[in-house]
Structure 1
Amino acid sequence: MATKAYAALLRAINVGGSVRVKKVPMARLRPLIEGLGHGDVRTYLQSGNATFTSDHGDEETLAAELSAAIEKEFGFPVEVIVRDHAYLKSVLDACPFPAASLEGKQLHVTYFSECIGPERFAAIDPAAFAPEEFRLGERELYLYVPDGLGRSKLAVALARPALNKGLIATSRNWNTVVKLVEMTGA
């Protein structure tokens, strides 16, 4: 198998709020990923973004191995999504919003662990949240929030557990989406 570049997206680590913070220092995450046999390991920000190269495994296997290693090392479970460079680039290229004219905080991508269909989000009335908007991809959701994610009523509606049942879902702002494509493309 040829060596491919991947991004690992860790869900809900190193963030505050009303839940107990799951601390995963990036300085400890890098050697953990290297210990799994992967190369060129780099991290981006403190919110659970790592890139690496590997010549073994598929996205789901790599995610499961990394999740198990994190739980063993840190003592708590962390959901992980792994995506290769080609997928990350396709998400960037398929953006249905004018990304170049928006601030990074206005545009987000939620990555899902599997394919999603429009029926999952059929109960959401887009007009009720205007000017906020969302568009579905295959395993991703694009979210435009002109006033930022922290003030978004649509983001709250989209994050309801009933809509995401059975899925791992983790969001990144557009700046991070772009950076992960750059990091996996080098």
Structure 2
Amino acid sequence: MHSYAAFLRGIMPSNPNMRNEKLRGVFEGLGFDNVSTLLSSGNVVFQAKDSKVPALESRIQQALNAELGIPGGTLIRTRDQLQALVDSDPFAGLTHCRETYLTVTFVREAPKQLPEFPADDTGTVRVLRFDPDAVAILSVIDNTDPSTTNFMQIVEKTIGKDITTRTFLTVQKALKKLNS
């Protein structure tokens, strides 16, 4: 059995079809084991015999769309990928808090090199690096500025919409669930 975390794009907890129990039901209906959800923002940990991540992502997304009408994307990372990311201490010396968000933006495919992102017009985002093993952009968002950052739109325009962002705390919680 292989352990995975699925990070679903476009989940709105206020939508009854996107609630955790329905998400778990889709994953269990696909025959996955030890299915568990985390928070209410589209984070599902599970075990599967299949080790082909792209096939799993496609199968899950098709089922979510067919059964619940969820059109977003499904990005999967293995327990080992998340463990390596957490072990690398990518945000050393920084603390996630109301003023500073430590974020992980998972992308479908690794770019050959991290593109130059256009300047964030609010000056509130600092891209630290691209993690090739987790296939993720690691960034710090300064929330002390009342302006709303448009960084996610910048990432989408630069890399494409096949991305999803989580806080580093959420990634750590997903790993903890995978390890329990």
Rounded Cα–Cα distance in structure 2 between residues aligned with 1:31 and 1:150 = 39
Is 1:109 equivalent to 2:109 in the alignment? no
Aligned partners of 2:145, 2:65: CA distance in 1, in Å?
29
Cα offset, 1:73, TM superposition = 0.4
The structure 1 segments of at least 4 consecutive aligned residues displaced by more than 6 Å after TM superposition are: none
Distance 1:22 1:91, change over 3 A: farther
Q: TM-score, normalised by structure 1?
A: 0.81
Instruction: Read off the aligned partner of 1:72 and give its amino acid letter.
Output: A
**Structure with more strand by fraction:** 2
Per the alignment, do residues 75 and 125 of structure 1 end up closer, same or farther by CA in structure 2, a change over 3 Å counting?
closer
**Counterpart for residue 82 of structure 2:** 88
Q: Is the alpha carbon distance of 1:156 and 1:57 closer, same or farther for their aligned partners in structure 2, counting shifts above 3 Å?
A: closer
1:41 aligns with 35
Deviations 1:27-76 (A, max 9, x none): 11112111111100000111100000111241111111000001110134
Structure 2 residue 19 is matched with structure 1 residue 30: no
CA 1:28 to 1:175, structure 2 compared with 1: closer, same or farther past 3 Å? same
Q: Kindly tell me the number of residue pairs found equivalent between the two proteins.
A: 176
Q: Which residue type is aligned with residue 137 of structure 2?
A: L
Identity of aligned residues (%): 22
RMSD between aligned residues = 2.8
CA distance in 1 between partners of 2:62 and 2:145 (Å): 30
**Partner SS, residue 157 of structure 2:** coil
Distance 1:151 1:96, change over 3 A: farther
For residues 81-109 of structure 1, what are the alpha-carbon distances to aligned partners after superposition, in whole Å with 9 as ceiling and x for unaligned?
11110001112223432266342851010
- Residue aligned with 1:101, SS: coil
Offset of residue 15 of structure 1: 6.1
> Could you tell me how far apart the structure 2 residues matched to 1:54 and 1:98 are?
33
Name the amino acid aligned to 1:52: F
Q: What secondary structure does 1:37 align onto?
A: coil
Read off the aligned partner of 2:125 and give its amino acid letter.
E
